[in-house]
Amino acid sequence: MISYRRTSMRCAFVLGTALASCIAAPALAQGKPISAHLVAQPLAGALESLARQTGVNILFSPDAVRGMVAPALDERLSAQGAVDRLIAGRPLRVQQQGDGTLLIVASSPVRPSALPAAGTAPADAGDEIVVTGYSNSLTGALEEKRKATNVIDVVRADDIGKFPAQNIAEALQRVPGVSIVRDRGEGVFVRVRGLGANFQVVTLNGRSVAVNENVRDSGQSGRQFRFDTLPSELMSAVEVAKSPRADLDEGGIGAIINLRTFRPMDLKEPLLNLSANASAPLLADKVNPRLSGLASWMNDAGTFGALIAAVYDERTTRQDRVTSVAWADGRIDANADGVLDPETILVPTSTRPTLEREDRQRIGLNGALQWKPSERFELNVDALWSRLDIDYDELTYSTDFSNSVARALLPGTAVVTDGVLTAGTVQTSTQIGREQSKLRYSNWLVGANAKWQANGWTARADVSVGRAVSDTPWPIYRYRLLGPVGYVSFDYAKVGDRLPNLRFQSADLSQPETLPGRRIEYRVNDSIDKEKAVKFDLERELSGVVTALRTGVKAERRNRDYDRRDINFTNGIVGQRFGANFFDPFPVDNFLKGVGGDLPRSWLMPDGDAFLNAATGKEALLAAPLARGDLRNSYDIAERIYSAYAMADFAAPLAGITLRGDLGLRYAHTRQTSSGYADDGRTAVPVSYRRNYGNWLPSLNLVGELTDKLQLRFAASKVITRPSLADLAPRLTINSNPTVLTAVGGNPELKPFEAWQYDGTAEWYFAPGSALIGAAFYKDITAFVFQQTRDFVLDGANYRLTAPQNGGNAHVAGFEIAYQQLFKMLPAPFDGLGTQINYTHTSSKGTYAAAGGGTFRDALVDVARDTFNVTTFYEKGPFGARVSYSWRGKVLRDVGGAGLTANNDSPFGSLDFDMSYAIRPNLTLVVQGINLAGGRQWQYVRDNRFSGYTDYGTTLIAGIRVRF
């Protein structure tokens, strides 16, 4: 913690350092010649602009330079030489600190003992303010954004490590324009500016990463990076690049998200950090440990360093849900006369109350070695490994209505409101099920890079290899009972009002004799994603308007192997009635507590071992060769991507402002091979499809520094997003529901999404660590992929097949507003207050192919129209507190007016908090809370009708942090 006086000093931080909260600029930076471009202006503003252009810390007192005007400067100088030129003839001098910081002081001698440490300012008379970790990390992140030529946002280590964030996704939800997708209450995927996770590219230390796949069910994620596989403690910072540069990987129409791990030379000194937390998910009624540690060492010469970080985390989750609430357009027989009424109305067809429980165990390791024998050469080796093990247990029952069948409804019970059947009494079948599985997600990445500098040239080489394995080390088992249960009275409200009323007239779902056995479903599911990459970059520093030329090449190889096998064990199960010894007591007594709705809240819980023992003939089925369906579900995707770029950095004074930026062109050539199986109606036939395509991707980023506090940005670029790997697969997956026949397929001929995107930003940095930023963006998508549903016949049965197709054009437009301020001007004790507020609005339209022919226009699916975040924090002395509320508006999952093929997400918000107290400078107690207000997720279909509900409850955390 650093303490200094308000009126004494002002600091222009290094805007280009990756870890400015704990790294000062290296001494090399202040001595390396750069092209300085400054207009005549007040000396304070000139020094701040010079810091941004050079990436060197420059500390100075506002009082010492008040009233002084700096001359224009447009030549190639070292940072210190440029400062000497700016202060020439004035009663000032420059002192270089050990880490390269330039300290401007009065010409009178200053005793060495009175000099401030790097990153601090000397005390003076006046009101004292305190700069602590969180405020400092926000300030450093804001300075990184300010210096960059492209549009970026940054979350820094203090922010990630000290906010209630179970993983990186949850830390990112406070970034303007970012919202997250939660699974079991934990952030899994990230949306940027409304666009779904498939539009984001995730890199680790600038390297391509392999991604884990969803092996829990048949829904697949494709290229979407699962943030729940990486603990937040292993990361030092995260960059969200919303406009690309030519030297960044292509593929992100939404954003390029770069995760940065810790490195020993960044920390500057030997360090040991330890933390221990106990988390209590209130709904699961458990207490779980979370342990983390980081150890860093560097030799006395500062030429070699080593670091290791580790995290061990246990987490118990519980979700109370109502899922699979299906609606359809149909005709009913209201008076039970055997003739369907002529009017087509909206009718409910099924509902599944579901209890989901998980035990998660996550381990993460990160190691780094750094060798820098001279100022001209540096070698880094990084390795990261993580594993997430999940024991999953799901209990569910379903009510499968047949409202559109003659005489299904009891006469006089149907209630039709505005063309919707909202209530009635109908004959029903019910399925009771239990799913148990063990899932494992492991991920590792090893990379090495070297940097050489000589005579104005900088060469960089990087090689990396990674693998993400997602599998079922113990098979997925689903134990099913199914049969008719007579009449059920139902009553559906609109979304958010209450859950459906489901009253069984004659059946008791807690009695073993109610339902006969159906089958045991067996599934093994394995996905291996392999990533290899090598790249080489070359940079030449220049004098004049063009300050640097950069070029580079990259070769990347990705392979996705996805294998799935399904077997149904029916012998000894189907049609059999089982006694009480085949069932366990329902595990909770407060299922769906706190929400209205009259429906069974406990039911039979099959004992998995007992049912497996009852099933016969299992060995023969397991020894049999793969079935047609298994082959249709499995596939292999191979991609070879070769890319090259050239770009120029520039900076120059123009009409009284400093203009800087970059202009570049990237070319990416993709060779794609999709292998799998097609079905000819009798057998599964091996097939393979090959596609080659290339994309020219120009980019321009422009920054105009109007004053030392105000700058404008403009960015224009062409971008692509490659289709999901699962969408490219020649696969066909048939669902297991006997009453609703659906299938999901792939399309190897898909073309990538292509878009031209434009950004305009105004940034006002009105005080240290404070800013008001407004941005507008427009993405003109010239080709995009959407899911189309059509009829499909297989083995004599008619299925509704959903498969991806290339559509027409689309656009995404919107704006962001972000406000951040440290209220250091307030009198004590209120000078410890600060706030972050941001809001993003997104609108979209796309052209879709209609099922019956022709096209129509509608909003893009999976786009959050509105998101905002409000964070208020207080840091004073040993005490710190933060409260954050993150909210996103509704998200459409289905378009075209029908609104019945997918469940749309209602608005959702989460309230989190963090409090800490430093007992000693190196010992801190922490209390945190996640989803304090108990936010619940609702889903809806057309006419705002209820279609889903999820409650994962509140989690409280208490812990201790130690630093040596």
Sheet bearing 92-96, strands edge to edge: 10-12, 58-60, 102-106, 92-96
Distant-in-sequence, close-in-space partners of 501: CB < 8 Å, separation ≥ 6: 423, 489, 490, 491, 492, 597, 598, 599
CA 663 – CA 245 distance, rounded (Å): 8
pLDDT of residue 791: 66
Q: What is the mean pLDDT of the chain?
A: 85
pLDDT of residue 798: 67
Residue percentage of the chain with pLDDT more than 90:
57
Does the structure show a pLDDT above 60 at 275? yes
pLDDT of residue 628: 87
Name the least confident of 241-250, 357-366, 844-853: 844-853
pLDDT of residue 24: 34
Helix (H, G, I), strand (E, B) or coil at 871: strand
- Burial class from Cβ neighbours inside 10 Å (0-12, 13-18, 19+) for residue 402 reads middle
CA 732 – CA 744 distance, rounded (Å): 6
Task: Output the six-digit token pair for 681.
Answer: 């109606």
Does the structure show a pLDDT above 70 at 407? yes
CA 234 – CA 947 distance, rounded (Å): 38
Does the structure show a pLDDT above 50 at 541? yes
CA 642 – CA 644 distance, rounded (Å): 7
Helix (H, G, I), strand (E, B) or coil at 223: coil
Stated length of the chain = 964
Phi, psi (degrees; rounded to nearest 5) at 358 = -140, 145
| pLDDT digits 0-9 by tens, 163-219 | 556 678 888 888 888 888 888 778 888 889 888 888 999 999 999 999 998 887 766
Name the pairing type of β-strands 58-60 and 102-106.
parallel
CA 326 – CA 565 distance, rounded (Å): 27
- Global pTM reads 0.82
* Apex 649 CA angle, 645 and 650, nearest 5: 145
Distant-in-sequence, close-in-space partners of 462: CB < 8 Å, separation ≥ 6: 206, 207, 447, 448, 449, 533, 534, 535, 536, 537
Helix (H, G, I), strand (E, B) or coil at 143: helix
> Of the candidates 770, 732, 951, 812, which has an alpha carbon nearest to the alpha carbon of residue 177?
812
Average of pLDDT values for 257-262? 92
Contact between 778 and 813 (Cβ < 8 Å): yes
> Of the candidates 904, 823, 822, 814, which has an alpha carbon nearest to the alpha carbon of residue 861?
904
Q: Which CA distances in Å does 143 have to 146, 454, 662?
A: 5, 29, 19
| pLDDT digits 0-9 by tens, 871-910 | 999 998 899 999 999 999 998 877 755 456 678 899 999 9
Show contacts of 169-173: CB within 8 Å, 24+ apart.
169/227, 169/228, 170/232, 170/930, 171/232, 171/238, 172/238, 172/240, 172/257, 173/869, 173/886
Average of pLDDT values for 537-560? 94
Task: Output the six-digit token pair for 60.
Answer: 């100075």
- Burial class from Cβ neighbours inside 10 Å (0-12, 13-18, 19+) for residue 89 reads exposed
Average of pLDDT values for 109-123? 35
Of 59 and 507, the one with more pLDDT: 507
Quick check: bond before 342 cis, omega within 30? no
CA 876 – CA 888 distance, rounded (Å): 31
| pLDDT digits 0-9 by tens, 845-874 | 887 767 666 777 888 888 888 999 999 999
Name the least confident of 21-35, 546-560, 652-666, 746-760: 21-35
Average of pLDDT values for 753-773? 94
Does the structure show a pLDDT above 50 at 10? no
Name the least confident of 46-60, 89-103, 108-122, 280-294: 108-122
Does the structure show a pLDDT above 80 at 69? no
Q: What confidence category does residue 118 fall into, taking pLDDT thresholds of 50, 70 and 90?
A: very low
Q: Which CA distances in Å does 290 have to 236, 284, 313, 636?
A: 18, 17, 4, 37
pLDDT of residue 470: 94
pLDDT of residue 22: 33
| pLDDT digits 0-9 by tens, 626-658 | 998 899 889 999 999 999 999 999 998 888 888
